[in-house]
Structure 1
Amino acid sequence: MSPLPVISHHGGDAGVTGSCHRLQISADRTLLVDCGLFQGEDADTSLSTLEQHRVTFPVDDLLALIVTHVHIDHIGRLPYLLAAGFAGPILCSVPSARLLPLVIEDALKIGFTRDRALIERFLAEVDERLVPLDYRQWHTLVDDDRHRVRVRLQRAGHILGSAYVEVDSLDHPSGQAQRTIFSGDLGAPHSPLLPAPESPERADVLVLESTYGDREHEDRTTRQARLKAAIDRALANGGTVIVPAFSIGRTQELLYELEELIHAADSECWRDLEIIVDSPLAARFTAVYRELKPWWDAEARSRAGEGRHPLAFDNLYTVDSHAEHQQTVDYLATHHRPAVVIAASGMCAGGRVVNYLKRMLNDPRHDVLFIGYQGAGTPGRDIQRFGPRGGWVELDGERIDIRARIDTIGGYSAHADQRDLLNFIKRMRQPPREIRLVHGDRDAKQALAAEIHAWASASNHAVWVLSGG
């Protein structure tokens, strides 16, 4: 029998999405870190949604579910987990406790039911289970004659409320202790609104994301210049800049950057530019982001203190109803009024952004601007890949020729790049003896593993790197 604790993966190990990791502390005591949906190429199209996301691992031994952050590929299987009989607490940061019900409500409407009474009943049960934890504070789950198990959340800088998880487990009879760290999704330094993640002091085992393990992002100055250039083209062409963005995280960071550009502009065209958020969910998240100002970084709090409103400025418009959405699509597709539209979903796999793309992708006046990761097998990846060479994409069963300009700005990714991920390891006083790379394509994991091995060899550090999948 393998020595405990041991880690098993139930998503996120062979791809980017579906994050779900079990830490087995003893035969009858386990922690679960995240429980997310599979998306894009990670999804098995031969199975129904119910079959694919049904929880098949044991739940009666779970001490708790720990949520690193509230993106759907990290918490979307929560309804399935509760249906399987999980009855324990749900641990997360204080901001995540505010945001999680919004995400789960939206997931229920899309994948389960629109029955308001059922949704309210489920949300009430989730609310009873939520245990909001302050950052940097140890929370003891078990302390008896067998084990002491405690958990601490640290800022991850990915989205508001995101955390990486430190788990200290001590087996009292044997005296065996282990510190296991689950990175969740780590953010990039210098991201708008959020403080950069700081490395932990030490780890024995590190479960590390690797989404951008094979590349480095543009710096903030470069990405702002490229964002401005894309909008300048729209102003000159009378076109629309369409930004597929996730409702939480990317949308709010982009609004922050746009407010800065508009504030600094000396052009009337810029000052009159409409910034349209066409996503009721994104609008709700943005409102909660404004309420969670104490968790912003120092720069953002200072800007608000000067009387500016980085998430609620005059040029910002939100589209709520479906009728308003259709009117906005029709207007922008037929008139020559420049605008920036931020619409979900981030990988163009559904949501309101698809209607903009169906109407505007074949018009060279417009610009599609990708600011986030596009998973393999998603329409976003196809547009990103084939658009610059004059290709086509299938949306809702319809072939759309791509004549719009296609741009990608890597600097707006909410994920750490290769350099940042390496620094997360290097800056530990006691680096891990074992690193498991998850949440990445095969090439990204292999590239990051090679860099880790090179660093370990140069620093004479013995580390075992697992990069399976």
Structure 2
Amino acid sequence: MAKTNFQGRVFMTHPTKAIYKWLIQDSVRVGNTSSSSQQAPLYTEADHLSTFSQIEAIDYHTTHTISSIRITPYPAGHVLGAAMFLIEIAGLKILFTGDYSREDDRHLISAEVPKGVKIDVLITESTYGIASHVPRLEREAALMKSITGILHRGGRVLMPVFALGRAQELLLILDEYWARHSEFQKVPIYYASNLARKCMVVYQTYVGAMNDNIKRLFRERMAEAELAGNVGKGGPWDFKFIRSLKNLDRFDDVGGCVMLASPGMLQNGVSRELLERWAPDPRNGVIITGYSVEGTLAKQIMNEPDSIPAIMTRGSGAGGRGRGPVAGGEAEKAMIPRRCTVQEFSFAAHVDGQENREFIEEVAAPVVILVHGEQHNMMRLKSKLLSLNVDKREKTKVFSPKNCEELKIPFKADKTAKVVGKLAQLPPPSSTSITEDNTQLITGVLVQNDFKMSLMAPEDLREYAGLTTTTITCKQRLSLSAAGIELVKWALEGMFGSVEVMFEELRQNGEPKTNGTGADDTEISDDQEIAHDEVDRPSTILLVMGCVLVRCHKNGDVELEWEGNMLNDGIADAVMAVLFTVESSPVAVKRSSSKHSHVHDSGLSKRNPHTSVSIAERLERVLMFLESQFGHSITPIERPKIGKQEPKTAAADVDTVMASPSTGEDEDIADLEAQELARLHRLGVPVPGVEIRVDKHVAKVWLETLEVESSYSLLRDRVRVVIERAVETVAPLWTGRKGIMG
């Protein structure tokens, strides 16, 4: 945080933040006493103090959201305040355990599996691989037997420990054993770690973050202290038989004792100095209780070497008391004989192989990533987990990446949008009523917030999404020197199909203006255009594609107005392209040219042929598409479909007869069919439908509604696609969206 450009937020549990204050200070102090004079410290005490205020303390089982990422801490059971983190990103749930323990010890809450949460990725430690720990009670009994054995022979017990975690557990074990065995109460127990002594205040403060055993002990001790009148010494961490040793200068090294000293790896510090002092005496013993890293003296001494290098003791002889790091050349030569006994009892706060496998199976994540372990142990655990896939229907993917190796794992997840606001008032169809032909289409604005999606109407954006909408109205003006409203309308119809006349300006006296030919301007005719400067042209508004307004003013100016968006902008560009060429294109010149100074019927169509295609013509073009796809297997259907029908066009005569088979049993079917055929002919439909036969499969297309019927779904779908494309092709842009009959 101090040496990088990191600007994010930092979260720690309350005990971890309190321990951090002392832990980093001790790390700075140890780093400054390093024997390497050329190695600069990674950080200073000033760096440490500057970062403390940036840390946010949080509690277990509380969820926090940072930039749409949700994190929830859970107890890890490694040390006081240790946490596993459940991280949720876009619906993907990742559980990162860090170091964790599932063992029920004397003071820590064991790691727990998040309840009711489906984990997608589990990132877990693999410290012990597949090795198994000795059961806790057996391990504690063996430890006390070893300690008392060393004391019985008059020796001293050295237990290298880390300042936090297992040291506190071992202190509870020793204090409890000494309380039950009075014969050892005269033997002193020390813990020589300034950091452990400082952090003991944190342990006394956060008793509530520990397990039921420590809480019970706290209540019992407090009751005893109240009876004795000394409430200040009633906590479970106020030991009766254990003393804190600030430094070795005050240590009277006479007789047997039990010494817990840090660091646990014996690389330097008090534990290394006492080892060099006590190693030559065969009565003494070293008990390793934690995890030892390869390359450290704690790992090497378990092989019981004949001698160990002296780096903390000056001078020669086993009893030398001068302390301090030895110079480099001398350190290579100075060796101390090792005659003390060495034993190992694993009290490391890490899960063993069996506990780790059980935890992984309980979480049941489809992807497991192994970290924090030596390569040999990690690969053995990976092989074991992969072997368990034999009996699984869904195989677990196991990864064991090296340091700094990047993993790319694809994940597929369903995205669900919640319908809110006005759209939610539409009742959803039941699962039984949804068919291939009966689906419900809902359109709206899809809003994503914190990886959660909501579908709502645009007018609900402010209420449900906290968003405001802005409409940009675009305007464009151009001038036409000769083209009149009829020519403009005719050209626009040729490009877009139907063009709606929205408004025409009236004379001040309420009478509609005419164009000099007697024609009423409210009904624009094709021969209305007159090229005469003295004739006023009315101001007319045309609506193109339902979104672009074209205002044609008296003086020849044309103004376009539309609501700005990607689709409307494209339509407006097309409208302007038509207007720019309306006075110069050959078809426009032919349309507006006249051999006479007066106006009469030129024989031209009053509407653009692109918008005045008859229904029969459109059906003929659709049938051309069907013939090109299915060849000569198309035959007309002579008899109409008798049943309830609702024509999609208002062009039907008022005397249309709605045929229904329920009008009476004695009604003549032939008469009904004749009436239905007559109605279809009035609409311009030549035959009721066509039949398409492909091999043994038949599809019927009813031309009025373009409905497709077939028991063979593949043929039915293919015919539908052909008809949809045909309608889009033969119909104008604007009316093509409404259907072949519109």
For the superposition of Structure 1 and Structure 2, which TM-score range results when normalised by the shorter chain? 0.7 to 0.9
State the shift of 1:282 in Å.
1.1
Aligned with residue 345 of structure 2, among 409, 412, 416: 409
SS in 1 for 2:72: strand
Check the 8 A contact 2:129/2:373 in 1, yes or no: yes
- State the Cα deviation string for residues 22-81 of structure 1 (Å, max 9, x = none): xxxxxxxxxxxxxxxxxxxxxxxxxxxxxxxxxxxxxxxxxxxxxxxxxxxxxxxxxxx4
Check the 8 A contact 2:28/2:45 in 1, yes or no: no
CA distance in 1, matches of 2:277, 2:13: 40
- State the Cα deviation string for residues 154-186 of structure 1 (Å, max 9, x = none): 00000000011111001xxxxxx3111211101
- AA at the equivalent of 1:434: V
Aligned with residue 290 of structure 1, among 196, 204, 213: 204
Name 2:354's counterpart in structure 1. Answer: 419
Aligned residues: 359
> Judging changes above 3 Å, is the alpha-carbon distance between structure 1 residues 290 and 156 closer, same or farther for their aligned structure 2 residues?
same
CA distance in 2, matches of 1:351, 1:460: 53
Name 1:87's counterpart in structure 2. Answer: 7
Check the 8 A contact 2:204/2:235 in 1, yes or no: no
1:209 aligned onto 2:135: no
SS in 1 for 2:164: coil
Name 2:288's counterpart in structure 1. Answer: 370
State the shift of 1:238 in Å.
1.4
SS in 2 for 1:359: helix
1:185 aligned onto 2:102: no
> Judging changes above 3 Å, is the alpha-carbon distance between structure 1 residues 395 and 204 closer, same or farther for their aligned structure 2 residues?
farther
Name 1:130's counterpart in structure 2. Answer: 55
Name 2:241's counterpart in structure 1. Answer: 315
CA distance in 2, matches of 1:180, 1:161: 20
TM-score (norm 1): 0.73
Name 1:169's counterpart in structure 2. Answer: 89
Name 1:109's counterpart in structure 2. Answer: 29
Check the 8 A contact 1:247/1:282 in 2, yes or no: yes
Aligned with residue 261 of structure 2, among 322, 328, 343: 343
1:456 aligned onto 2:389: yes
CA distance in 2, matches of 1:216, 1:255: 24
> Judging changes above 3 Å, is the alpha-carbon distance between structure 1 residues 257 and 310 closer, same or farther for their aligned structure 2 residues?
farther
SS in 2 for 1:166: strand
CA distance in 2, matches of 1:105, 1:119: 9
SS in 2 for 1:374: coil
SS in 1 for 2:377: helix
Check the 8 A contact 2:78/2:99 in 1, yes or no: yes
State the shift of 1:223 in Å.
1.4
CA distance in 2, matches of 1:183, 1:326: 41
State the shift of 1:393 in Å.
2.4
Check the 8 A contact 1:188/1:413 in 2, yes or no: no
CA distance in 1, matches of 2:111, 2:400: 23
1:253-268 alignment, distance < 5 Å: 253-265=169-181, 267-268=182-183
- State the Cα deviation string for residues 172-221 of structure 1 (Å, max 9, x = none): xxxxx311121110114122210111123432112110111231111121
1:248 aligned onto 2:160: no
Name 1:233's counterpart in structure 2. Answer: 149
Q: Tell me which of the two structures has the higher relative contact order, counting C-alpha pairs closer than 8 angstroms and 6 or more residues apart.
A: 1
SS in 1 for 2:53: helix
CA distance in 2, matches of 1:246, 1:233: 24
Query: Bigger CA drift: 303-312 or 220-229?
Result: 303-312
SS in 2 for 1:150: strand
1:42-121 alignment, distance < 5 Å: 81-111=1-31, 121=46
SS in 1 for 2:99: coil
Name 1:361's counterpart in structure 2. Answer: 279
- AA at the equivalent of 1:391: D
State the shift of 1:313 in Å.
1.6
Check the 8 A contact 1:165/1:182 in 2, yes or no: yes
State the shift of 1:120 in Å.
6.0
State the shift of 1:103 in Å.
1.1
State the shift of 1:248 in Å.
0.8
Query: Bigger CA drift: 184-193 or 353-362?
Result: 184-193
> Judging changes above 3 Å, is the alpha-carbon distance between structure 1 residues 358 and 422 closer, same or farther for their aligned structure 2 residues?
same
- State the Cα deviation string for residues 263-315 of structure 1 (Å, max 9, x = none): 222x32x1222110111111111221111111111011111211175432222
Unaligned runs of 5+ in 2: 35-42, 222-233, 312-330, 403-742
Aligned with residue 281 of structure 1, among 195, 214, 217: 195
Q: How high is the sequence identity, in percent, across the aligned residues?
A: 26
State the shift of 1:399 in Å.
1.9
Name 1:71's counterpart in structure 2. Answer: none
Check the 8 A contact 2:129/2:380 in 1, yes or no: yes
Check the 8 A contact 2:63/2:70 in 1, yes or no: yes
- AA at the equivalent of 1:409: F
1:303 aligned onto 2:303: no
Name 1:53's counterpart in structure 2. Answer: none
1:197 aligned onto 2:123: no
CA distance in 2, matches of 1:94, 1:236: 43
Check the 8 A contact 1:206/1:432 in 2, yes or no: yes
Unaligned runs of 5+ in 1: 1-80, 143-147, 171-176
SS in 1 for 2:69: strand
Check the 8 A contact 1:278/1:319 in 2, yes or no: yes
1:377-388 alignment, distance < 5 Å: 377-384=295-302, 386-387=303-304
Name 2:480's counterpart in structure 1. Answer: none
1:221 aligned onto 2:137: yes
- AA at the equivalent of 1:178: L
CA distance in 2, matches of 1:405, 1:215: 24
CA distance in 2, matches of 1:367, 1:192: 25
CA distance in 2, matches of 1:222, 1:155: 26
SS in 1 for 2:162: coil
CA distance in 2, matches of 1:391, 1:419: 35
SS in 2 for 1:83: coil
State the shift of 1:394 in Å.
2.1
Greater share of strand residues, 1 or 2?
A: 1
State the shift of 1:231 in Å.
1.9
> Judging changes above 3 Å, is the alpha-carbon distance between structure 1 residues 163 and 228 closer, same or farther for their aligned structure 2 residues?
same
Tell which structure's C-alpha radius of gyration is larger. Answer: 2
- AA at the equivalent of 2:7: A
SS in 1 for 2:265: coil
CA distance in 2, matches of 1:350, 1:460: 52
CA distance in 1, matches of 2:294, 2:188: 32
